[in-house]
Amino acid sequence: MAERSPRDPAGTLIVVLGPSGSGKDTIIDFARETLRGRSDVLFVRRVVTRDAAVQAEDHDTLDEAAFLAAEQAGAFAFTWKAHGLSYGLPSSMDGHLALGGIAIANGSRATLPDLRRRYPTLVPVTLAVAPDVLAARIAARGRESEAEIAARLQRAERFALDTPDLTIIDNNGAPEIAGRAFVRLIEQVSARHHAIA
């Protein structure tokens, strides 16, 4: 995992956490569409060493060698590894935060302690989904075997988050319900920025 020297950005990073299948991309997409045209809100496009043709989030793709070269060149604000892949949040995110904006990123639960150190104003959000609902959603993607689904569910339980500043959004129902709750959170963070300014 790589991170630059910590500093206090004027803006706020909202990181969406949760197990695979919990709906992170769905609520982020809902918020992106709802808040389209807002220059103060940046929806961060991750770079992943995964084939762009694979059915997954909309992301930029690099192979491992190119990712490492980009990392060494300072192209990323924050990087981590998970499930045999490398992930990076582009350095443009830090520029947006330095100007007092809000950045929204799909993150990893395992990196939360490092993200807290790197971004003191971090707002972590997690999606709560019942195990049976999560299993059904993962199975519906058709990407994992039964054994792989079981392993994902075990990881979801093992990485359950419980921190005082964590915002939990229930995503067992229709995605627009959780999406609207997420948009309300973004608006609350934006209001705090305006109050401080």
Q: What digits encode the pLDDT tens for the residues 26-80?
A: 999 999 999 999 999 999 999 999 765 555 556 788 999 999 999 999 999 999 9
Q: What is the pTM of this model?
A: 0.83
- State percent of the chain over pLDDT 70: 78
92 annotated to bind ligand: no
Cα separation, 6 vs 29, in Å, equals 29
Confidence of residue 135 (pLDDT cuts 50, 70, 90): confident
What angle separates helix 175-196 from helix 24-34, to the nearest 10 degrees?
A: 60
User: CA torsion angle for 6, 7, 11, 16 (degrees, to 10)?
Assistant: 10
> Smallest Cα–Cα separation from 38: which of 196, 189, 197, 195?
189
88 is in an annotated binding site: no
Phi/psi region, residue 83 (left: phi>0; alpha: psi -120 to 50; beta: rest), is left
Please indicate if the annotation marks 19 as binding a ligand.
yes
> Residue 163's CB: how many other CB atoms inside 10 A?
10
Does 20 appear as a known binding residue? yes
| Nearest partner of 54 among 20, 101, 77, 99, judged by Cα | 20
81 belongs to an annotated ligand binding site: no
pLDDT band at 145 (very low <50, low <70, confident <90, very high): low
* Sequence-separated (6 or more) residues with CB below 8 Å from residue 78: 2, 3, 4, 88, 89, 111, 114, 115, 118
Whole-angstrom Cα distance, residue 84 to residue 177?
33
Instruction: Read off the pLDDT of residues 88-112 as tens digits, 9 standing for 90 and up.
Output: 999 999 999 999 999 999 998 889 9
25 annotated ligand-binding residue: yes
At 156 the pLDDT is 56
Task: Return the higher-pLDDT residue of 151 and 192.
Answer: 192
Average the pLDDT over 9-38 and give the result. Answer: 91
Taking the domain 10-188, which CATH number applies? 3.40.50.300
d(CA 180, CA 2): 33
Can you tell me the mean pLDDT for 17-28? 88
Q: How many CB atoms lie within 10 A of CB 185?
A: 17
Residue 8's pLDDT is 56
Map tokens 């994992």 to a residue.
144
Name the pLDDT band for 176 (thresholds 50, 70, 90). Answer: very high
